[in-house]
């Protein structure tokens, strides 16, 4: 049976633009489709500042076309053009040259446990054999120096670079090292951007497999600075099952889509409480909202983290649960999260 142009376009609707939930057909990126017998020729023109997006789209489009019944030959031309008046891209080799993967942990609102997830994700990646750094970019509420049990102050080496502080085997840098814990950070946007730029350029991160970036909640100057200064390999969105948190998580996800940062997936924190005595499961803040939202937005669901008092106690004591109770259900959930993140960024 001969293939039709409509069937080709329908097949291409399976191809999503990287990090977005929309397909390349609805975006208007498919410029022409020609069908001659069992041969299909397709022209795709992308406008993006991310050259890797073209490679991903071309690979996925070719796979979708070759899977069509009756198609024996595929000719695919995928052209990538940078947006007009777009700022010149910063060469990746000049920004954190020793770091293989840069992963941001973000949330649309505060109070969902984003910093807890970032700390335990860093430790879970380390338990998997990776060398890991943790950048606390939450300028207004730095907490990683406490959660990671860092008691030393950063030092400066001979090259006048700031050396990160070791926290449970993870290289940690936070504004909390440099500020009085009782002193509020009352800074305007330019000061925030300057501080973050120093954390990126003036810190000797060395050679790392992963740099986990703990972003502040919301969508503002800090998030924009990080996405503009650092070639992020992806972002993890943290939410809780409540509808209010899910609404804000959608906004955070949309922000990364607008700045062409791949969304690695969404994780639901404080998913349910399992009684340690009877084993009964109590869904205190509802359940399943994170998975449903991820499915609706077309991004992977990376798992859920149960409510466990040991998570809070570990963070306050400077030994997150992955380090203090590695065999607990919560720690295993963080290890599964780390495995999912590795699969996503290495894919």
Residue 26 pLDDT exceeds 80: no
Among 51, 81, 111, residue at a domain's last position = 81
With respect to residue 88, please indicate whether it lies within any of the assigned structural domains: no
pTM for this prediction: 0.69
**Could you report the per-residue pLDDT of 267-278, keeping only the tens digit for each?**
998 887 777 777
Nearest to 25 by CA among 15, 35, 34: 15
Domain assignment of residue 119, given as a range: 93-346
The CA–CA distances, whole Å, from 212 to 86, 144, 302 equal: 27, 11, 16
Burial class of residue 1 (count of CB atoms within 10 Å of its CB; 0-12, 13-18, 19+): exposed
Boundary residue ending a domain (19, 46, 81): 81
What is the bridge-based pairing of β-strands 162-163 and 155-156?
A: antiparallel
Is residue 342 within 8 A of residue 212, CB to CB? The reply is no
d(CA 307, CA 112): 12
State the Cα–Cα distance between residues 134 and 210, nearest whole angstrom. 8
Note whether residue 177 is domain-resident: yes
Mean pLDDT for the chain overall: 83
Same-domain check for residues 103 and 201? yes
Q: What is the pLDDT of residue 228?
A: 74
Is the same domain home to 51 and 199?
no
**Banded model confidence at residue 149, pLDDT cuts 50, 70, 90:** very high
75-84, 219-228, 293-302, 324-333 — most confident range: 324-333
| Pair 46, 98 in one domain | no
Q: Tokens in use for 97?
A: 């040259």
Report the distance separating Cα 147 and Cα 273, nearest Å: 22
The Cα 233–Cα 169 span in angstroms is 23
Burial state string for 292-331 with b = 16 or more CB within 10 A and e = fewer than 16: ebbeebebbbbbbbbbbebbeebbeebbbbbbbbeebebb
User: CA-CA distance, 344 to 265, in Å (whole number)?
Assistant: 9
pLDDT digits (tens, 9 = 90+) for 98-129: 999 999 998 877 788 899 999 999 999 999 99
Residue 26 lies in a domain: yes
Count how many domains the chain has: 2
d(Cα 265, Cα 219) in Å, to the nearest integer? Answer: 17
CA distance 266 to 166: 28
Tokens at 108, concatenated = 């649309």
What are φ and ψ of residue 313, in 5° steps?
Answer: -60, -40
Asked if the structure places residue 200 within a domain, the reply is yes
Query: Is residue 136 a contact partner of residue 174, using CB atoms and an 8 Å limit?
Result: yes
pLDDT band at 243 (very low <50, low <70, confident <90, very high): low
**137 and 35 within one domain:** no
- Same domain assignment for residues 155 and 299: yes
Residue 86, domain member (yes or no): no
Is residue 87 assigned to a domain?
no
Structure confidence at residue 88 (pLDDT): 47
With cut-offs at 50, 70 and 90, classify the pLDDT of residue 91. very low
CATH number for position 141: 3.40.50.300
Distance, in Å, from the CA atom of 43 to the CA atom of 292, rounded to the nearest integer, reads 34
Q: How does residue 92 score in pLDDT terms, banded at 50, 70 and 90?
A: very low
Task: State the average pLDDT over residues 78-94.
Answer: 58
Last residue of a domain, one of 29, 55, 81: 81
- Which tokens hold the place of 147? 């959660």
For residue range 159-203, list pLDDT tens digits in order.
888 899 999 999 999 988 876 665 655 555 567 677 787 888 889
Q: What gap in Å lies between CA 208 and CA 24, rounded to an integer? A: 35
User: 74 and 29 in one domain?
Assistant: yes
Residues 158 and 242 in one domain: yes
């Amino acid at each position: 049976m001969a293939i039709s142009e409509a069937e080709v376009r329908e097949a291409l609707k399976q191809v999503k633009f990287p990090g977005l939930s929309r397909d390349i057909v609805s975006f208007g990126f498919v410029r022409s489709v020609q069908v001659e017998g069992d041969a299909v020729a397709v022209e795709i023109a992308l406008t993006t500042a991310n050259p890797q997006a073209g490679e991903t789209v071309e690979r996925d489009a070719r796979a979708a076309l070759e899977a069509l019944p009756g198609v024996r030959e595929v000719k695919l031309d995928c052209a990538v053009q940078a947006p007009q008046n777009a700022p010149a891209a910063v060469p990746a080799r000049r920004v954190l040259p020793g770091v293989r993967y840069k992963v941001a942990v973000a949330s649309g609102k505060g109070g969902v446990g984003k910093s807890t997830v970032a700390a335990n994700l860093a430790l879970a990646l380390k338990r998997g054999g990776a060398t890991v750094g943790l950048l606390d970019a939450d300028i207004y509420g730095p907490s990683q120096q406490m959660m990671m049990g860092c008691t030393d102050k950063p030092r400066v080496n001979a090259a006048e670079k700031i050396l990160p502080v070791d926290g449970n085997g993870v290289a940690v840098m936070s504004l909390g090292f440099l500020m009085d814990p009782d002193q509020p950070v009352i800074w305007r946007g330019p000061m925030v951007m300057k501080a973050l730029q120093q954390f990126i350029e003036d810190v000797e991160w060395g050679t790392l497999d992963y740099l986990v970036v703990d972003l502040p909640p919301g969508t503002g100057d800090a998030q924009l600075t990080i996405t503009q200064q650092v070639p992020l390999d992806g972002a993890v969105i943290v939410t809780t099952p409540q509808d209010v948190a899910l609404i804000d998580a959608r906004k955070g996800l949309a922000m990364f889509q607008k700045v062409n940062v791949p969304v690695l997936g969404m994780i639901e924190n404080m998913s349910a409480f399992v009684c340690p005595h009877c084993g009964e499961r109590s869904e205190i803040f509802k359940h399943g909202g994170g998975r449903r939202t991820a499915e609706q937005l077309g991004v992977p669901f990376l798992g859920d983290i149960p409510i466990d008092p040991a998570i809070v106690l570990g963070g306050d004591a400077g030994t997150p649960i992955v380090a203090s109770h590695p065999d607990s259900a919560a720690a295993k959930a963080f290890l599964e999260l780390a495995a999912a993140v590795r699969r996503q960024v290495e894919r």
